[in-house]
A and B are shown apart, each in its own frame.
Chain A
């Protein structure tokens, strides 16, 4: 596994070190709400990957639901002034 890879002193950039992977895994852990609060030494890397996959899938589902909601909203006629107000409120 990655434990076989030796820690390289040469900063070639192409050698992947254990530390780099651990850092990246903990960065992912901070992003995923499910495991954000558990201590990093209690969460294994594979669990982080698994939860990340689940989180990405749930985000896709949310996009689906929101698209459907937007589609139903677009069905009704809208005035242009509403749209300008939305843009303004999003930018400020």
Chain B
């Protein structure tokens, strides 16, 4: 066990993705925890459903942004996701956090709305890919930055995206299991 720990610290290559993601995500979690107003006495937990829902959105954003940053700019989807999330944050600076969170998460294909400019710009590419099978359009919507990719690149990005999502879920689950 100590050998692997030494490996993480002294190896010249960077630590595995799940470690990089876990560290970033935990840092963000602690930030969220510190910034939410806890009751002055320990007898009053901040458990109102509104608070919980707000925090849920923040945690979700933190998870996706930590993962995108841990991957870095090596992948098209991570670059697109980082851009979209930081754009959402900029919008939300004046307005409420939940509004910016919702607009940021929309880019993950969770809501079906799409901006007009994006559709116009990539309509040609879409038509090119719509031929093979209709599932491609759906996939493009789900994978960040998918609109501008050809089929080959899209499939590659999807594979990496799915692997990273699985890592994200695994790390989040192990944190949730360990916390109490």
Q: Which residues of A contact B (CB under 8 A)?
A: 1-2, 16, 20-21, 24-25, 27-28, 31-32, 45-46, 49-50, 52-53, 55-57, 59-60, 62-64, 66-78, 82-83, 85-87, 89-92
Contacts and interface: CB of A to CB of B under 8 A. Distances in A.
B136 A63 contact: no
Interface string B143-180: 10000001110011011011101101101111110111
Contacts of A28: 155, 158-159, 162
Contact of B179 (A53, A70, A91, A92): A70
Contacts of A60: 108-110, 165
Given A63-B64, A86-B178, A90-B171, 5 more contacts: A1-B131, A66-B172, A72-B47, A74-B59, A89-B178
Contacts of B22: 87, 90-91
A29 B78 CA distance: 22
B86 interface: no
A45 B133 contact: yes
Interface of B: 1, 4-5, 8, 18-19, 22-23, 26, 29-30, 32-33, 36, 38, 42, 45-47, 51-53, 55-57, 59-60, 63-64, 108-110, 131-136, 138-139, 142-143, 150-152, 155-156, 158-159, 161-163, 165-166, 168-169, 171-176, 178-180
B152 A24 contact: yes
A66 B165 CA distance: 13
Nearest to A28: B159
A55 B158 CA distance: 11
| 5 nearest A-B pairs in the assembled complex, by CB-CB distance | A49-B135, A24-B155, A71-B55, A46-B133, A66-B172
A71 B23 CA distance: 18
Contacts, number: 150
Contacts of B133: 45-46, 49
Given A64-B60, A73-B180, A77-B38, A27 B159 contact: yes
Given A21-B152, A76-B45, A87-B26, A70 B59 contact: yes
Contact of A70 (B42, B45, B163, B172): B172
Contacts of B166: 59
A73 B179 CA distance: 7
A92 to B, nearest CB: 5
Given A50-B135, A73-B176, A83-B30, A20 B152 contact: yes
